[in-house]
Amino acid sequence: MATGPIARPRPAWLLFGGLATVVLVADQLAKAWIVGNIAPGQVVDVIGTLVRLIFSRNNGALFGLFGSSATLFAIGSLAVLGLIVWYHARTPRSLLLSIALGLLLGGALGNLIDRLRLGYVVDFVDIGIGTLRFFTFNVGDSAISTAILLLLFLAVRPAPKPVHVDA
């Protein structure tokens, strides 16, 4: 019997690319609606003051961290996008990994487009109680956060036990 390289199942490119596209389109459409309908700084209550819309310009990273670095983050984002695609290509087929990386790619692309086009990222979801508020975020940030949680889950879950067949 000849031995050769072990065939690995190919990554789920359609799921990965399709999910990234859906996140990117949803992110850009939501941001376009916000920019066209809400003035910067204007607050629109959605669920009382618990969930509000507020058009804010984020010059920093995820959730506004490290402000005034949009250009630096745009350059870093290009490298990250390449790493996401490279990693997806190198890993065996995994439904959860393809979902996580598709979410990550779509969110990163949505925020990169803002940085390159506008010089900042449009954030608009504001959640909190009274003056205790979470960072303002957008659809892309939500996708990135969900992807990170999925990747953490994949990293800490126990490996499946091999199946032994007795002859």
Residues designated as active site = 123, 141
In the chain, the amino acid numbered 52 is R
SS3 content of the chain, % helix, strand, coil (to 5): 55, 15, 30
SS3 readout for 10-27: CCCHHHHHHHHHHHHHHH
> How many angstroms separate the CA atoms of 26 and 76, rounded?
23
> How many angstroms separate the CA atoms of 117 and 109, rounded?
12
CB 154 within 8 A of CB 147: no
User: HSE of 36 in the Cβ direction (CA atoms, 13 Å)?
Assistant: 6
Label residue 54 left, alpha or beta by phi (over 0 means left) and psi (-120 to 50 means alpha). Answer: beta
